[in-house]
Structure formats: structure tokens, C-alpha cells
Amino acid sequence: MLNRYNVIAGQSIERLAAISDGVFAVAMTLLVLDLHTPDATRIQSEAALWHAIVALAPRVLVYLMSFLTLGIFWVGQQTQLNHLERSDRDFTWLHLVFLFAVSLMPFSTSLMAEFISYRVALIAYWLNILLLGGILYIAWAYAFRTRLGKPDVTQEVDEAVRRRIIGAQTLYAVGAALCVINTYWALGFMLLVQLNYAIAPRMRFISRL
């Protein structure tokens, strides 16, 4: 009876997509809650307000990066789900782990924004991205191996999906490694990678990955 349940559980791609959309929406909304307006009691002039707004720049940068990150991974997950004909229990749980990593993004973003010059915060932020990419890769590999995909999911499609994930994660790792020099260098490089994948200007050396 238990084995039979495991066979029939978690087969709905539509339900998995629905809960994914909800988790992504909440996580992306929570990101902005870490941005606070300047303390009105400390603002006595236009210049003081301007300086207070400029001081928010690091937090805005990390917020932008995290919003892009979640947007990129939402598109990646939806692309995978759109290529699947059905799901199963194991695939569903893999994506629930993926959504767990999504739900951690507001925390790692807040940590990075609060301690933007600390390498430990940068590494924690990168590990969150690595977890997102790693689980998405494992889920796709599992789906392809167990033939959950639609008939048009060929070997070429499989290789394209895997190559995109590996390429992005490799570049993120390079960016994280730059924290040895400076965390701002690391964040700047990671932002360029995200912009490439989000707006697709197709930088040559990135496109090869």
C-alpha cells in the first residue's frame, strides 16, 4: 500500500507550478521590507535627506541583485516545468527543497546588506545561490533520467539546460572568489552575470558557457 502511494503521489505539474509561484512571490516581496526610509527625526535639511538616501545604495544594490536572482531562477524553474509531461513524488520533493532555498533568499539578502563588507556574509549569500542552482540541476537530471519530460525533450534540450545551469554557477563561483580582493568586486561581478542572464546582451565569453 505504501509503495502504491509513492507511485501516485506528487504527479501534478500544475500544482507544483502554483506553489512555486506563491513562494517566489512572497520571497520577492519580503526582499523590499529590508529597505527602510531614513529616520525623519534625523533629517533636518534637503542635503541630509540626500546623504541618507545615498547611504541606502548598498542595500538597494543587494536588493536588486536578489530580485534578479529570484527572477532568473523563477524563469529557469518554469522552463523546466514547461518541458515536463508529469511529475512524481521524488521530483516534487526536490522542487520543495528548491523552494526552501528560495525562501532563504530574504535572509541571506538581509545578511549581505547588513554586513556588505564582510566575506562571511558574501559567502553565505553565494551558498544560497549555489543551493538554488544545485537543486535545480539535480531535479532536471532526475526528470530526464526518469523520462518525466515531454516527447520533444531531446538530448540537445537536456544538454542546453544543464550547460546553462553549470555555466551560471561557475560564473557565480568566480564572482564569490573575488571577495578575496573586495566584497564589492564580488558583488559587481555577480551583478554583471545576472544582468547578462536577465536581459541577454550575450557577452561573448559568457555565451560560450
Domain segments of the chain as ranges: 2-207
Q: Which residues pair with 84 in a beta bridge?
A: 149
Q: Which residues pair with 137 in a beta bridge?
A: none
Contacts 24+ apart (CB under 8 A), 122-125: 122/176, 122/179, 122/183, 122/186, 122/187, 123/176, 123/179, 125/62
Q: 28-73: per-residue pLDDT in tens?
A: 999 888 777 766 667 777 777 777 777 767 788 888 889 999 999 9
Q: Band the pLDDT of 140: cuts 50, 70, 90.
A: very high
Q: What is the mean pLDDT of residues 138-159?
A: 87
Cβ neighbors of 108 (< 8 A, separation 6 or more) are 66, 124, 125, 127, 128
Measured from the Cβ of residue 91, the count of other Cβ atoms closer than 10 Å reads: 23
Whether the predicted pLDDT of 2 surpasses 70:
no
Tally the C-alpha atoms within 13 A of residue 80's C-alpha that lie toward its C-beta.
32
As given in the structure block, the three cell numbers for residue 66 are: 536578489
Q: What is the mean pLDDT of residues 123-135?
A: 96
What pLDDT score does 204 carry? 53
Whether the predicted pLDDT of 10 surpasses 80:
no
